[in-house]
Structure 1
Amino acid sequence: MINRRALLQGTAALAGVGAVGGGWRAALAAANAEKVTFPKDFLWGAATAAYQVEGGWNADGKGPSIWDTFVRQPGRIKNGDTGDVACDSYHKYKEDAALIRQLNLKSYRYSLSWSRVQPLGKGAVNQAGLDYYKRLTDAVLEAGARPLVTLYHWDLPQALDDAGGWTNRDTADRLAEYADIVGRALGDRINHWAILNEPKTFTHLGYWEGIFAPGHKDPLQMLRATHVVNLSQGKAFRALKAINPKFEVGSVCDVANMVPRTDSEADKAAAERYHRFLNLWFLQPVLDGTYPDVLPADRQADLLGIQPGDEKAMRADYDMVGLNYYTRWVVADKPEGNGVPGLNTDHQWGEGPHAKTDIGWDIDPDGFHDTLVRMAKAIGNRPIEITESGAAYNTPLVNGHVKDAKRIEYMKAYFAALSRAIKDGAPVRAYHAWSLMDNFEWAQGYSQRFGLVYVDFKNNQKRTIKDSGLWYAKVAKDNGF
């Protein structure tokens, strides 16, 4: 009998794979030296999120979300930017669909705004919001792409946050109700669903570090929120499957390569703990009904707020798992603690003399390969989709062109690593570039550009395909380079 818990948690031996991480130029040279190929029927796509691109923040009955509130708090967002207009995709969705076709994309990952569908997060439905998502989905299908729809990409209805947000167990039931509403309304058009986007990010940064909405700084609140999130994944999964058992349903986690700061045994063990707390915390409970070994065993139930039956409520036999990968974390032991009992880590990205993107994240294609191979074992060889991966390069628009050669180099190195990971057993069936277009990058506002398409935010959000977008379109057409 397979020890599934041991398989999920793995061993510390791989925690520091790719620790040097500086060999990305070698990876790029290798990618240029030979053809990089992908399996037949591999899906090339791009991703966006509702708050980051839609705008129309209060249009046609939409209610306020926690991000609508957060951006209005002084000092929260760089340059005081907001997502009120963003890329104006609420009105320009047909232009976005045209870009999907021009870039030869066969999958488009986008999210729904919960408060556009349910202004209060429960009760009355805003039909105008559902109608918008019907029009958007029809445009995606007409562009020849598969819709991959994320139910929740961080924009919790403000009314639910007023009631406790993700620390309130009722929020898990509210997400299930919302899943039922959109599944019934859009299930004739959409077959592929991701429940949540990066629960680590919106719980850690929203409840522990306070730099994302709702802006709290309480590690114990954060722990409670992580458990409610895991309950919500199981409940929303069952709500969608009750509508149509043929729906393909999963969720999206961000994962990273964990690199010990030194070769000490203490730092290696810390990197393993952070692997469990970042890479497995929102997968193992769903797939196995248990939490990774991080918190003190005698305090875990109290710290998380676990109630009898929760181990079953969390469970979901996912049809696929989405993984987002950007960079690595450098992790060290911190015996004095960091507010999370038992974690005891100091963890930083962008640390040290390592090649970086314009946002300061390390370029780490080897870590991408190693993490995918390791996560495939933890996920149990379910289909994996890369639901986000990309780089911020703030190359300007000059004479109608964006010559962002650095992003092309980045993609070459990461795609070569992805191809190797697939050959090494990671069952990855799709890649979605972050992002289809430049957009509102959360606390960074409009200062960082991740898009394949340049958006001129000062000129009616005019779209211009970058050189990297043209190159990516050729990769998508040729299924390699």
Structure 2
Amino acid sequence: MSFPKDFIWGTATASFQIEGAWDEDGKTPSIWDEFCEQPGAISDHSNGRTACDHYHRFREDVALMADRGIRNYRFSVSWPRILPEGTGKVNEAGVAFYNELIDCLLEHGIRPWMTIYHWDLPACLERKGGWVNDQIPEWFAEYTGVLADRFGDRVKDFFTINEPQCIIGLGYMTGGFAPGLKLELKDQVIACHNLLKSHGRACQVLREKVKDVRIGYAPCGASAIPKDENNPADVEAARKAYFAMEKNSPSFSVAWFSDPVVLGTYPADGLEYFGQYLPEGWQEDMKLICQKLDYYAQNLYEGREVRAADNENGWEDAPYPAGHPRTACGWPVTPRALYWAPRFLTERYKLPFIVTENGMSSHDWVMSDGKVHDPHRIDYLRRYIRELRRAVEDGVDIRGYFCWSLMDNFEWARGYSERFGLVYVDYTTGKRTPKDSFDWFAEMVRTNGENL
């Protein structure tokens, strides 16, 4: 057994990271536009004003996918491009851009997968409190309604929110991402709860407005990997560690953001630590938050090894040895994350699983022959996808895999210093150069993983 014949292979991007055109055709600033102006916020002092200029070059980018047989594309929508004031009047120029993109994808036989929110909150809404404002579920519902009305005749696959852990944990806890805040614990918990309610409202709107809609949710979280996977004690230790709550904040938890969405309740240990900060009557909100999902997704890049231990947790981290391989941005190379995370997540949530992001930053450049040779990325993808195949062969219900990313782009607080793409982007000229890994990935897609 290998990957099913109808397995979904695709590539992924996010609006702020590639579009540019930051103030064109009626778009207003997002929290990331403003965050980039804060001294020291972006490591290379860059911004997303031009990025990959996908706003003007999307046809070229779609053609690159089509030429290599990519048939699924996950992209996100810029909220302030659609609703410049966050709510109210729709920006028809913004709608026109996404209409043209969607039509172009369909003309090339590429299935659009739309992420409603990938971090670019309208700055005007952040000034009203952003995710801490109890009105945001309705703001989000209004925004979702516009997407459903304008695009739902052609787009049937939606992800509501990308990586809520980063939205709250990095945006409102550490301050490392936009909007760059360090809130008190109570406000972090309120922001988490409002975000979950927003997910629920988006699901309701999509079910009401889009015929034959399929809805997913795309959180994140480093996998816990059993040190010795042949040792049942280590497997159970990793399972516990993956869903265990940290005591200082819920903002980076897997269970805190997914148990309510799928199981209709906050995890017990999380309530013990943070229940006192939840709003009065939060239990009734579970009916809103827990909506039917067609698939559960997660962005997966790395994992930590865990072993059984004689302590209060029953587990402990097993640090990687000195010299363990790492990607260009310092993330450990841990292929088994794509076996154990889908296994643990499908055991707990009992939904079809999709990997919505996986890939690596590498030290890429255009070489003297005019090409971009990236053997490290090819080896990385081969190793990770082999582990994904092993999970499928062991009966884990995995439906798809999206490679991050289609092209090099603005990598958030790291600016343009990291290259995750299958396509090399010259940020001065905008020239696209497909890397060796893109050809390898295209052949892997063509053979449905038989070349692994």
Shared fold (TM-score, shorter chain, > 0.5):
yes
> Structure 1 residue aligned with 2:374, among 392, 404, 413?
404
* Mean CA deviation greater in 112-121 or 221-230: 221-230
Kindly provide the CA deviation profile for residues 345-366 of structure 1, in whole angstroms up to 9, marking residues without a partner as x: 9999999542111111011111
Indicate how the Cα distance of structure 1 residues 447 and 215 shifts in structure 2: closer, same or farther if over 3 A, else same.
Answer: same
Contact kept in structure 1, 2:153 and 2:210, CA below 8 Å: no
Alpha-carbon deviation of 1:425?
Answer: 2.1
Residue 171 of structure 2 is matched in structure 1 by: 206
> Structure 1 residue aligned with 2:397, among 410, 421, 427?
427
> Structure 2 residue aligned with 1:474, among 412, 434, 443?
443
Distance of 1:104 and 1:129 partners within structure 2 = 28
Paired residues for 1:30-429 under 5 Å: 37-220=2-185, 221-258=187-224, 272-274=243-245, 278-297=253-272, 300-303=275-278, 307=282, 309-329=284-304, 353-380=323-350, 382-398=351-367, 399-429=369-399
Indicate how the Cα distance of structure 1 residues 305 and 199 shifts in structure 2: closer, same or farther if over 3 A, else same.
Answer: farther
Distance of 1:287 and 1:458 partners within structure 2 = 45
Secondary structure of the 1:218 match is: coil
Alpha-carbon deviation of 1:315?
Answer: 1.4
Kindly provide the CA deviation profile for residues 173-211 of structure 1, in whole angstroms up to 9, marking residues without a partner as x: 111111111100011110100000010111100011110
Contact kept in structure 2, 1:223 and 1:304, CA below 8 Å: no
Residue 230 of structure 2 is matched in structure 1 by: none
Distance of 1:168 and 1:352 partners within structure 2 = 45
Secondary structure of the 1:448 match is: coil
Secondary structure of the 1:58 match is: coil
Whether 2:403 is the aligned partner of 1:438: answer no
Secondary structure of the 2:21 match is: coil
Contact kept in structure 1, 2:216 and 2:297, CA below 8 Å: yes
Indicate how the Cα distance of structure 1 residues 478 and 236 shifts in structure 2: closer, same or farther if over 3 A, else same.
Answer: same
Indicate how the Cα distance of structure 1 residues 259 and 425 shifts in structure 2: closer, same or farther if over 3 A, else same.
Answer: closer
Alpha-carbon deviation of 1:322?
Answer: 1.9
- Count of residues paired in the alignment: 433
* Mean CA deviation greater in 235-244 or 216-225: 216-225
Indicate how the Cα distance of structure 1 residues 348 and 136 shifts in structure 2: closer, same or farther if over 3 A, else same.
Answer: farther
Secondary structure of the 1:429 match is: strand
Contact kept in structure 2, 1:271 and 1:331, CA below 8 Å: no
> Structure 1 residue aligned with 2:431, among 457, 462, 470?
462
Alpha-carbon deviation of 1:319?
Answer: 1.0
Distance of 2:45 and 2:161 partners within structure 1 = 27
Secondary structure of the 1:406 match is: helix
Distance of 1:207 and 1:152 partners within structure 2 = 16
Alpha-carbon deviation of 1:299?
Answer: 5.2
Distance of 1:52 and 1:371 partners within structure 2 = 26
Alpha-carbon deviation of 1:393?
Answer: 0.6
Contact kept in structure 2, 1:66 and 1:161, CA below 8 Å: yes
Residue 338 of structure 1 is matched in structure 2 by: none
Contact kept in structure 1, 2:190 and 2:277, CA below 8 Å: no
Alpha-carbon deviation of 1:307?
Answer: 3.3
RMSD of equivalent CA atoms: 2.8
Indicate how the Cα distance of structure 1 residues 330 and 76 shifts in structure 2: closer, same or farther if over 3 A, else same.
Answer: farther
Contact kept in structure 2, 1:373 and 1:424, CA below 8 Å: no
**TM-score w.r.t. length of structure 2:** 0.90
Indicate how the Cα distance of structure 1 residues 184 and 317 shifts in structure 2: closer, same or farther if over 3 A, else same.
Answer: same
Alpha-carbon deviation of 1:308?
Answer: 5.3
Alpha-carbon deviation of 1:396?
Answer: 1.1
Alpha-carbon deviation of 1:258?
Answer: 2.6
Alpha-carbon deviation of 1:388?
Answer: 0.6
Contact kept in structure 2, 1:53 and 1:88, CA below 8 Å: yes
**TM-score w.r.t. length of structure 1:** 0.84
Residue 310 of structure 2 is matched in structure 1 by: none
Alpha-carbon deviation of 1:446?
Answer: 0.4
Contact kept in structure 1, 2:193 and 2:278, CA below 8 Å: no
Does 1 or 2 have the higher relative contact order (CA < 8 Å, sep 6+)? 1
Distance of 2:388 and 2:280 partners within structure 1 = 38
Alpha-carbon deviation of 1:384?
Answer: 1.7
Distance of 1:103 and 1:321 partners within structure 2 = 27
Kindly provide the CA deviation profile for residues 198-253 of structure 1, in whole angstroms up to 9, marking residues without a partner as x: 10111100011110001111251222211111111111100111002511012111
Distance of 1:219 and 1:368 partners within structure 2 = 34
Residue 21 of structure 1 is matched in structure 2 by: none
Contact kept in structure 1, 2:297 and 2:355, CA below 8 Å: yes
Alpha-carbon deviation of 1:294?
Answer: 2.9
* Percent of pairs with identical residues: 39
Contact kept in structure 1, 2:327 and 2:362, CA below 8 Å: yes
Indicate how the Cα distance of structure 1 residues 415 and 330 shifts in structure 2: closer, same or farther if over 3 A, else same.
Answer: closer
Alpha-carbon deviation of 1:367?
Answer: 2.3
Kindly provide the CA deviation profile for residues 355-387 of structure 1, in whole angstroms up to 9, marking residues without a partner as x: 11111101111122011111111221x222211
Distance of 1:305 and 1:358 partners within structure 2 = 46
Distance of 1:156 and 1:68 partners within structure 2 = 10
Indicate how the Cα distance of structure 1 residues 369 and 226 shifts in structure 2: closer, same or farther if over 3 A, else same.
Answer: same
Kindly provide the CA deviation profile for residues 249-298 of structure 1, in whole angstroms up to 9, marking residues without a partner as x: 1211113223699x99xx97766524996222222101222111233538
Distance of 2:177 and 2:78 partners within structure 1 = 17
Distance of 1:304 and 1:352 partners within structure 2 = 45
1:40 counterpart letter in structure 2: K
Distance of 1:258 and 1:274 partners within structure 2 = 13
Distance of 1:387 and 1:257 partners within structure 2 = 14
Distance of 1:168 and 1:109 partners within structure 2 = 29
